[in-house]
Amino acid sequence: MSVVIAGAGMHPWGKWGRNFTEYGVHAAREALKDAGIAWADVDLVVGGETVRNGYAGYVAGSTFAQALGWNGARIATSYAACATGAQAIDTARARILAGMSEVALVVGADTTPKGFLAPNAGERWNDPDWLRFRLLGMTNPAYFALYARRRMDLYGATSEDFAQVKVKNAKHGLGNPNARFRKESSVAEVLASPMVSDPLHLLDICATSDGAAAVVLVSAEYARRHGIAAPVTVAAVSTVTPTFPNTVIDMPLLSTDSSALTGVPERTFKEAIGQAAYEEAGIDPSDVDVAEVYDLSTALELDWIEDLQLCKRGEAEALLRAGDTTIGGRIPVNPSGGLACFGEAVPAQAIAQVCELTWQLQGRAEGRQVEGAKVGITANQGLFGHGSSVILSV
């Protein structure tokens, strides 16, 4: 038994200043239209919840069900920080595989504050996300800069390499009608933009955005009965957590585990995310044709290429310089333009990646198509040990 993506839809990303529900309803209707499925036939709605730095946000599942018009569907709400969308997809997929649902609508939407994400007011001494702001002043860009500096120290990456990631993704995003930023960039422009946290400039770091994405998942039997041709199948969803010892610092943690007694683990947390997906799908990294990864910063994209085993450790810069990660290259990364062109809309971004891969595998990504793509992988990492990777195949 398998689960099929019958339809995908988005609300264009930007700064629209409206309620997140409006964006989610738009994306949901686009996905239903794409699937050719009536809202009345949906028997499960899974919403991606918005949470601000550990502080509970909106009741997403019922919010979207009500806004679309109560139809009696069952609901669920998922939260996994930046991996929320993939966890929501996994929840829907599990109920379909269990025979408890045939048609599931998964929606993620957000309205973000201006500027880099910051903690809400008030004191929450048991919230590590709040503590890292309060005790260390460790904003997200500060973490991104530490990861970037690590690449420079270990592998010889340069600021020009990081800038070239932005140049690549900006070019990809030109063909994406849902992207917020659709303008080419040059290495010189990236390096001339304000320094945010050395070595990362403003154009190395993704913005925060309003936006939404949705997918309709159906059982394989439903897809056959309704004549869904060349279905895109969800081959795997990984939502693994870290394994002790965690020797590479992850947001919002303030330290790493000691490996004095246990030794260094076989894989880091981020490496484990993709590996679990490969094992579930029964494929090898060499089978992947296209990847959508979590480029909160330009340097992080290079990390993810290696974490997903698309090249050996320390070789991502060589792939980038050779043009292998651009459309037309050996393994295109972020043909959508990535978060560099979208910006963060936290509960929606992992779903948006799945939308993009769906269109890529169907040959419908006009203006940014990866020719002949049959297998695609996503990667996300959220706060508090949330990680996700989704593999789609045709």
pLDDT at 241 over 80: yes
pLDDT at 236 over 70: yes
Place of tokens 């979590």: 294
pLDDT at 142 over 50: yes
Residue 56, both tokens:
């509970």
User: What average pLDDT does the chain have?
Assistant: 94
Do 238 and 227 lie in one domain? The reply is no
- Contact (Cβ atoms closer than 8 angstroms) between residue 351 and residue 93: no
pLDDT at 53 over 60: no
Lowest mean pLDDT among 12-16, 136-140, 365-369: 136-140
Range of the domain at 186: 128-206+234-393
Do 71 and 149 lie in one domain? The reply is no
Quick one: pLDDT band at residue 145, thresholds 50, 70, 90?
very high
- Contact (Cβ atoms closer than 8 angstroms) between residue 80 and residue 386: yes
Residue 121 placed within a domain: no
Do 260 and 333 lie in one domain? The reply is yes
Three-state SS sequence of 216-234: EEEEHHHHHHCCCCCCEEE
Q: Which residue has the higher pLDDT, 136 or 71?
A: 71
Do 225 and 323 lie in one domain? The reply is no
Give the contacts of 210 (CB within 8 A, at least 6 positions apart): 13, 14, 15, 16, 17, 18, 20, 23, 110, 111, 112, 345
Task: Give the N- to C-terminal CA distance of the chain in Å, as an integer.
Answer: 15
Do 229 and 240 lie in one domain? The reply is no
pLDDT, average across residues 253-278: 93
Task: Tally the domains of the chain.
Answer: 2
Do 74 and 153 lie in one domain? The reply is no
CA distance 319 to 126: 42
Decide: pTM greater than 0.85.
Answer: yes
Residue 122 placed within a domain: no
Give the contacts of 75 (CB within 8 A, at least 6 positions apart): 44, 45, 46, 47, 61, 62, 65
CA distance 226 to 224: 5
pLDDT at 252 over 70: yes
Spell out where 51-129 has E strands. 74-78, 103-110
**Which pLDDT value is given to residue 187?**
98
Do 377 and 238 lie in one domain? The reply is yes
17-26 pLDDT, tens digit each: 898 999 999 9
74-126 pLDDT, tens digit each: 999 999 989 999 999 999 999 999 999 999 999 999 988 888 887 777 888 88
**Which pLDDT value is given to residue 323?**
98
Do 301 and 375 lie in one domain? The reply is yes
Give the contacts of 234 (CB within 8 A, at least 6 positions apart): 2, 3, 4, 5, 89, 93, 217, 390, 391, 392
Residue 279 placed within a domain: yes
Residue 328 placed within a domain: yes
pLDDT, average across residues 1-16: 95
Residue 6, both tokens:
């019958």
pLDDT at 56 over 50: no
| Sign of torsion over alpha carbons 121, 126, 130, 136 | positive
3-class SS of residue 297: strand
pLDDT at 360 over 70: yes
- Contact (Cβ atoms closer than 8 angstroms) between residue 226 and residue 377: no
Which residue, 291, 333, 347, 292, is CA-closest to 89? 347
Do 169 and 286 lie in one domain? The reply is yes
Residue 273 placed within a domain: yes
pLDDT at 276 over 60: yes
**Which pLDDT value is given to residue 54?**
46
pLDDT, average across residues 135-144: 91
Do 39 and 50 lie in one domain? The reply is yes
pLDDT at 4 over 50: yes
Residue 144 placed within a domain: yes
Do 162 and 94 lie in one domain? The reply is no
Q: For the chain, what percent of residues have pLDDT higher than 90? A: 84
pLDDT at 52 over 90: no
pLDDT, average across residues 37-65: 82
165-198 pLDDT, tens digit each: 999 999 999 999 999 999 999 999 999 999 999 9
pLDDT, average across residues 245-258: 90
Residue 120 placed within a domain: no
Residue 91 placed within a domain: yes
**Which pLDDT value is given to residue 322?**
98
Do 218 and 295 lie in one domain? The reply is no
Q: List the CATH number of the domain containing 29.
A: 3.40.47.10
CA distance 116 to 206: 9
pLDDT, average across residues 144-152: 97
CA distance 48 to 76: 9
